[in-house]
Amino acid sequence: MNQPARKSTAVAIAVLSGLVLSPSAFAAPPVVKVDGSSTVFPITEAVAEEFQKARKGAINVTVGISGTGGGFKKFCRGETDIANASRPILKKEMDDCAKTGIRYYELPVAYDALTVMVNPQNTFVKSMTVAELKKIWEPGAQGRINNWKDVNPAWPDQKLKLYGAGADSGTFDYFTEAIVGKAKSSRGDYTASEDDNVLVQGIAGDKGALGYFGFAYYIENQKKLKAVAIDGGKGPVAPTPENVDNGSYQPLSRPIFIYVSEKSLDKPEIRDFVDFYMKNARPLVKEVKYIPLPAKAYSGNLDHIARKKLGTVFAGQNETGLTIEELMKREAQL
């Protein structure tokens, strides 16, 4: 009876010594490591899936979800090659990267349209102005604006129930910045979730509901939800791929990015992957229900790499309402 016990001890010792001696000489396929935002994940995942198919297993890609902030932490420690980001890199993260000597390219890969949604039974709201949204979401509204008629006297006496992104997400940062005027400044008495399906269920089951989240979740749930057109000062504009593409859906359309480490780009497999990403992004972005950038933006990204245009064009600030053309023209800094 004690034989098996001895055997398993021997195996354990073998495994532990294997752990210590493990860096072995023969070559496994090189791995491209990507981590970061859950918003950008579906795009990078689609590219990774196609890339691995195209390279027939000669290069492997891993994609993790640890949020834009978590992704930058790993990226600036040099643990990953590429960071998925649903907002530009912030000052503090730039400093972290500078400390470890990680230099990077900032490559916009798609647009996301933050979509404001109401219950389909809500017949009185077709569009909302940014001022009305601000009235609902600013911190001062907490406990005060609880009824649709408080927002606009023309709207009926109907209880207002709010659903929105959790405070750790890039979506929350962007929405508050664009609507309230200051990132992370929001009322707190609403149903917050990092899981957008929870928000979809909430709005679909509540007649007086209003909420916001990424465009892809709206497209997949169009029968359960009604999107509100946003009036940013030039009349109401509906969240459609066309309106995002022509720049009229403002201020709630935002570019999303990947950040690529300069050092990693020296490796042929990373360069190959980024190349593949930019050349195949347009159809794949559309397939996963995001809005592709104009074709020249993707070739422009590759051009920036070729001309070594390192760094970010946002100077550590989260800006809203930028068009891709403005973005591509700006000077980058590290």
Does 12 help bind another protein (rule: CB under 8 A)?
Answer: yes
Does 21 help bind another protein (rule: CB under 8 A)?
Answer: yes
Pick from 122, 221, 243, 253 the residue near another protein by CB under 8 A.
221
Does 19 help bind another protein (rule: CB under 8 A)?
Answer: yes
The whole-angstrom separation of Cα 111 and Cα 114 is 10
Pick from 40, 63, 258, 281 the residue near another protein by CB under 8 A.
63
Does 191 help bind another protein (rule: CB under 8 A)?
Answer: no
Nearer to another protein, 216 or 274 (CB): 216
Does 65 help bind another protein (rule: CB under 8 A)?
Answer: yes
Does 222 help bind another protein (rule: CB under 8 A)?
Answer: no
Nearer to another protein, 197 or 333 (CB): 197
Nearer to another protein, 167 or 334 (CB): 167
Does 199 help bind another protein (rule: CB under 8 A)?
Answer: no
* Three-state secondary structure string covering the chain: CHHHHHHHHHHHHHHHHHHHCCCCCCCCCCEEEEEECCCCHHHHHHHHHHHHHHHCCCCEEEECCCHHHHHHHHHHCCCCCEEEECCCCCHHHHHHHHHHCCCEEEEEEEEEECEEEECCCCCCCCEEEHHHHHHHHCHHHCCCCCEHHHHCCCCCCCECEEEEECCCCHHHHHHHHHHCCCCCCCCCCCEEECCHHHHHHHHHCCCCEEEEECHHHHHHCCCCCEECEEECCCCEECCCHHHHHCCCCCCCEEEEEEEEEHHHHCCHHHHHHHHHHHHHHHHHHHHCCCECCCHHHHHHHHHHHHCCCCEECCCCCCCCCCCHHHHHHCCCEC
From the list 39, 23, 11, 10, the residue with the least C-alpha distance to 257 is: 39
Stretch that binds another protein, among 28-36, 136-144, 236-244, 316-324 (CB under 8 A): 28-36
The encoded tokens of residue 46 equal 């689609």
Does 69 help bind another protein (rule: CB under 8 A)?
Answer: no
Residues 77-96, one symbol each (x = binds another protein by CB under 8 A, - = not), give --x-----------------
In whole angstroms, the minimum distance from the beta carbon of 277 to another protein comes to 14
In the range 160-179, which residues lie near another protein by CB under 8 A? none
Nearer to another protein, 11 or 131 (CB): 11
Nearer to another protein, 69 or 311 (CB): 69
Stretch that binds another protein, among 93-101, 132-140, 163-171, 218-226 (CB under 8 A): 218-226
Cis peptide before 294 (omega within 30 of 0): no
Nearer to another protein, 22 or 153 (CB): 22
In the range 119-138, which residues lie near another protein by CB under 8 A? none
Does 242 help bind another protein (rule: CB under 8 A)?
Answer: no
Nearer to another protein, 48 or 162 (CB): 48
What's the half-sphere exposure (Cβ side, CA atoms, 13 Å) at 311? 14
Interface with another protein (CB under 8 A):
1-2, 5, 8-9, 11-12, 14-15, 18-19, 21-22, 24, 26, 28-29, 31, 33, 35, 38, 41-42, 44-46, 48-49, 52, 57, 60-66, 74, 79, 195-197, 216-217, 219-221, 287-289
